[in-house]
Structure 1
Amino acid sequence: MIVSPLDYRYGRDKMKGVFSEENRLRIMLSVEAALAQAESYYKIIPENAYNDIQRVVNSNQVKLERVKEIEKHIKHDVMAIVDALTEKCNEGKNYVHFGVTSNDINDSATAVQIHDAINIITSDLIEFMNILIKLINENMDTIMVGRTHGQHASPITFGLKLSVYLSEITRHLERLSGARQRIIVGKISGPVGTGAALGDRARDIQNKTCEILRIRPETASTQIVCRDRYIEYLSILNNISVSLEKFATEVRNLQRPEINEVSEYFNSSEQVGSSSMPSKRNPVNAENIVSLCRLIRSYIIPEYEAGIQWHERDLTNSALERFTIPYTSILTDDVLAKSIDLFKNIYINKDEMLKKVINDQFIMSESVTVTLARNGMPRQEAHEFVREASMKAYMEKISFKESLIKNGIEKFIDKSMLDDALDPFKFTGMSREICMGAIEEAENMIKYATGDLYD
């Protein structure tokens, strides 16, 4: 019986493969083999014992069905893996899981999974950044109305709007790259963190095991890796989800018929928007992104609680972490893929953007105020002058320019200055420079992060 929507509706195969039951078993067995290799290297166990353990792991002799069968009787998931591995070994039989505890295997395996998940998310972020760079280059001078409080504001460019998005994603990539060394951490130090069962070479064995697994060793731990590391990982993914929801919400708003400046792709030949209203073209992709992003952020709450343990460890983190890390990782990859598709195929209605800019002189009130101030009128007086003219224009249903002239603006600036102050194309400020700066920053970050992809 399948219950979770991740099994049949959400998530992509590659990321789900990282957290699948089969892959989890494979990684945990690889941790046991890496441990045996490290112990053999430091003469804690015989070399032929390590070779035997590695042989069994490499030949895929330990089957998930057998592990579940054992667990059904002994009620311990990790020990079931240990027993299943042991029964397939010969010379290594007495040295499987030597000197360690369950969470040495569990947490080191989780570090490997997080490593693989971060690689996928890093690739997603870079792909998204490249799409945004392309769109910015194409829309650097695409003028549109800015909006604050849901109302028309001074003009901007669509490229500037996208540069804000690109800058956010660039920082997310920077955070994820910088946090790798703190997040991808395992441990081999026993049930209370002392490593006593491994003797004088305990720290060396931990370091060697983690080196083999390509993860970092925990500095100081109890029975488990410190959960501030997992919380940081989920926090970064949560932050990404906030940005993606923000972007998708903007697309939804700009797609509203009364705005009609941007819309997501709709396959008119076969896509259905509504079961009752056949004419509908709903922003379902953007809405789906928003919905899943809200779910993503909920999973960090139980992980905060998992960071609080009795003494050197209890079991209160165990069940919840079977959800928090896998579900957040899978859904983050999912919404990133959907965001990539959303912006890759986005429709930009440049004519409607321009129409709204041309038809609303009020968006130039800031420009007029600054022009007056630059030509001798005290700034606060200029603000009040333009405010009064604006309110009169609303009440008398006349144009902003007409109201300004009636209010006597030509006493302070000439007609040419007024026309320039009302020209939206002359009031996009440093939008182009911001666009180019965001692109440069993103491209530099991509170059830096690409080297981390397979570390």
Structure 2
Amino acid sequence: MTDPRPADAPADVPADVPANVLADPLLDPLFTTAAAARAFSPAARVQGMLDFEAALARAEAAVGVIPATAVPAIAAACDAALYDPAGLGAEAALAGNTAIPLVKHLTASVKAADPDAARFVHWGATSQDAMDSGLVLQLRGFIDGLDADLGRLADALAALADRHRATPMVARTWLQHALPTTFGLKAAGWLDALGRDRRRLAVARGGLALQFGGAAGTLAALGEAGPAVAEALARELDLPLPALPWHASRDRITEPAAALGILAGTLGTIGRDVSLMMQMEVAEAFEPAGPGRGGSSTMPHKRNPVSCAVLLSAAVRAPALVGGLLAAQVQEHERGLGGWHAEWQALPDLARLVAGAAHHAASMIAGLTVDADRMRANLDLTRGLILAEAVTMALGGRMGRLAAHSRVAEASRRAVTERRPLRDVLAEDSEIVQALGIDELDRLFDPLNYTGSAAVFIDRVLAEHARN
């Protein structure tokens, strides 16, 4: 089989991923991961619903609602490989959801093996129970897999922050030179935001609960046994048992969606910063290089920021998906019309998209090339103007803030006009030299002496990372 992947495809998208896993074999290798593609593949969607049906049979048998003899045939038929997703989809186009035809075919499969057991398939449940609980199972596995990539990214960022805690660079505000900072602090900022993202996802994962309410959320079909079945079913699926069914309360879906959207923004910020640092006029940091990675179809010299493009693309696309899911949260009465349906593709699309960005970010940061010499050289582009505030603050203690500001501003204008270092212009002012001294003036023009509390902030972030 010919390898369909581009040379720079994410490493965990193997060439033999089945076509029915990758929704778009031309673009998915760039924008998602094999794990995310599998988590939300048609087979996984079907298997999630079937896992619910098998667990339901076991739970109902455990509390005496259905005979225990019915369980083996039902459980054996709960294998997604036995069903045709395309056929189910065609029937769902008429039925309105995928669970209805799946339960029909599941019942037929069980009947072929044990006619008596077939009577108890899907007993007391509704289609939304199967679909929502199946989705919860998919989401839980997906978040666990995503966090593995996020953990890899966090570790790489922590190493970067520690390694470059004393690597001075330009801090840029409004894209212009502002003051000195360190690359370690920049990396720590990325890490700090990522830590909050991971905690938000963990909270959202904790909110994923069993969905089991029957036709109208009352479990009336099960009579007095309803609560006991629900408790047993939650144990079978290892899911929290909610106080009541949540058919029309979609916050359990929008919470992970919002967390994924915020994560996409964090990853996009990393992508934006790295891509700006990769510009040849800046040249402070570069994505990992490799055969076929970041090339141009016509310009042999190009080293394009491929991973940054994926991160930025996810940050552009995610808000619309999150917005759609938030809009879908408004439901009607006990079970909604349209809003529930709007989740079915939007949430998997969002999850696959963010997973791809997280994977690219982890690989990019782990292999990031940092040019500390260029960072230091860029600090000198303005011939010391970037340290004008440092001189002003030191001088202000001797002659007052306003006087110091005026004196340094005038020296800065001369330095720009005459294209000279600000330090040399200031050294020609006898009053400034008398107030500060040459040694102090030289010290003020060392960028590492004006990074404030950067080291303290880095230590705080690294300590928080170590605790998690």
TM-score by length of 1: 0.90
1:206 maps to what in 2?
230
**CA shift in 2, pair 1:76/1:396, >3 Å:** closer
1:154 maps to what in 2?
179
**Aligned counterparts, 1:188-207, within 5 A:** 188-207=212-231
Q: Write the distance in 2 (CA, Å) between the matches of 1:134 and 1:208.
A: 45
**CA shift in 2, pair 1:186/1:380, >3 Å:** farther
**Aligned counterparts, 1:129-148, within 5 A:** 129-148=154-173
What displacement does 1:280 show? 2.2
1:14 maps to what in 2?
35
1:256 has 2:276 as partner: no
2:15 maps to what in 1?
none
2:461 maps to what in 1?
438
After superposition, what is the alpha-carbon deviation per residue over 1:176-222, rounded to whole angstroms, capped at 9, x for unaligned? 1223222x122111122112112123223223212211222333345
1:303 maps to what in 2?
325
SS at match of 1:87: helix
What displacement does 1:7 show? 5.2
Give 2:39's aligned amino acid: V
Q: Write the distance in 2 (CA, Å) between the matches of 1:75 and 1:160.
A: 52
1:44 maps to what in 2?
65
SS at match of 2:296: coil
Q: Write the distance in 1 (CA, Å) between the matches of 2:281 and 2:84.
A: 59
What displacement does 1:45 show? 1.4
Q: State how many pairs are aligned.
A: 441
What displacement does 1:167 show? 0.8
Q: Write the distance in 2 (CA, Å) between the matches of 1:59 and 1:299.
A: 28
Q: Which residue, 298, 302, 319 being the options, matches 1:280?
A: 302
SS at match of 1:95: coil
2:50 maps to what in 1?
29
Range moving further from structure 2, 319-328 or 353-362: 353-362
Q: Write the distance in 1 (CA, Å) between the matches of 2:80 and 2:416.
A: 79
What displacement does 1:396 show? 3.4
After superposition, what is the alpha-carbon deviation per residue over 1:256-295, rounded to whole angstroms, capped at 9, x for unaligned? 121111112233x655633333322222321232113211
What displacement does 1:73 show? 7.4
1:125 has 2:146 as partner: no
1:429 maps to what in 2?
452
Range moving further from structure 2, 417-426 or 152-161: 417-426
SS at match of 2:179: strand
Give 1:415's aligned amino acid: I
Q: Write the distance in 2 (CA, Å) between the matches of 1:270 and 1:307.
A: 44
What displacement does 1:65 show? 6.3
TM-score by length of 2: 0.87
Q: Which residue, 345, 348, 356 being the options, matches 2:367?
A: 345
Q: Write the distance in 2 (CA, Å) between the matches of 1:250 and 1:238.
A: 19
1:452 maps to what in 2?
none
Q: Write the distance in 2 (CA, Å) between the matches of 1:74 and 1:242.
A: 38
2:268 maps to what in 1?
245
SS at match of 2:177: strand
Q: Write the distance in 2 (CA, Å) between the matches of 1:220 and 1:75.
A: 25
Range moving further from structure 2, 403-412 or 330-339: 403-412
Give 1:198's aligned amino acid: L
What displacement does 1:119 show? 0.3
**Aligned counterparts, 1:42-441, within 5 A:** 42-57=63-78, 61-62=82-83, 64=85, 67=88, 77-89=98-110, 90-182=115-207, 184-221=208-245, 224=247, 226-267=249-290, 270-271=292-293, 273-358=295-380, 360-374=383-397, 376-407=398-429, 408-441=431-464
Q: Write the distance in 1 (CA, Å) between the matches of 2:404 and 2:117.
A: 86
Q: Write the distance in 1 (CA, Å) between the matches of 2:194 and 2:96.
A: 44
What displacement does 1:379 show? 2.6
Q: Write the distance in 2 (CA, Å) between the matches of 1:38 and 1:340.
A: 41
What displacement does 1:406 show? 4.1
* Structure 2 gap ranges (5+): 1-21
SS at match of 2:448: helix
**CA shift in 2, pair 1:347/1:59, >3 Å:** closer
SS at match of 1:313: coil
What displacement does 1:392 show? 2.8
**CA shift in 2, pair 1:397/1:220, >3 Å:** same
**CA shift in 2, pair 1:73/1:391, >3 Å:** closer
Which aligned runs of 4 or more in structure 1 are off by greater than 4 angstroms?
1-9, 58-76, 269-272
What displacement does 1:103 show? 0.5
Q: Write the distance in 2 (CA, Å) between the matches of 1:5 and 1:215.
A: 36
What displacement does 1:357 show? 2.6
Q: Write the distance in 2 (CA, Å) between the matches of 1:388 and 1:309.
A: 64
Q: Write the distance in 2 (CA, Å) between the matches of 1:81 and 1:315.
A: 20
Alignment check: 8 A CA contact 1:272 1:278 kept: no
**CA shift in 2, pair 1:5/1:292, >3 Å:** farther
After superposition, what is the alpha-carbon deviation per residue over 1:64-101, rounded to whole angstroms, capped at 9, x for unaligned? 46645765776653121111111222332111111121
What displacement does 1:117 show? 0.8
SS at match of 2:116: coil
